[in-house]
């Protein structure tokens, strides 16, 4: 993962986290692979991207997840936003 993406997400982490928590069910959906070990379905990825599109209006850094191939970065986003982890980026 390029360093600039890590820095971008890390510098906006609290703001992004607040926005994600505001969207009912998005945090649970985003954490699905970490909590259950199951991958997201195509429909779930589409739902996540729709929510991230709306959030990107407030947090421009989220646009990166909407670009082609951006869904490959979703596990990284989930890891950064996982509040259970003690060590962060």
Is the entire prediction scored with pTM above 0.75? no
**Residue 54 covered by a domain:** yes
Residues whose CB is less than 8 angstroms from the CB of residue 2 and which lie 6 or more positions away in sequence, other chains included: none
Residue 39 lies in a domain: yes
Query: What is the total count of domains within the chain?
Result: 1
pLDDT the model gives residue 40: 92
Domain range for 34 is 3-81
Q: Are 1 and 76 in contact (CB under 8 A)?
A: yes
Q: What pLDDT digit, counting tens, does each position of 6-57 carry?
A: 777 777 788 888 888 888 899 899 889 988 999 999 999 999 989 888 888 8
3-state class percentages of the chain: helix first, strand second, coil last, to nearest 5: 70, 0, 30
Residue 89 lies in a domain: no
């Amino acid at each position: 993962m390029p360093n600039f993406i890590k820095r971008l997400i890390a510098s906006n982490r609290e703001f992004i986290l607040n926005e994600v928590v505001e969207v009912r069910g998005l945090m649970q959906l985003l954490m699905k692979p970490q909590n259950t070990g199951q991958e997201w379905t195509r429909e779930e990825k589409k739902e996540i991207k729709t929510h991230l599109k709306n959030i990107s209006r407030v947090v421009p850094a989220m646009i990166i997840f909407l670009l082609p191939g951006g869904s490959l970065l979703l596990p990284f986003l989930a890891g950064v936003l996982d509040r259970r982890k003690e060590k962060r980026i």
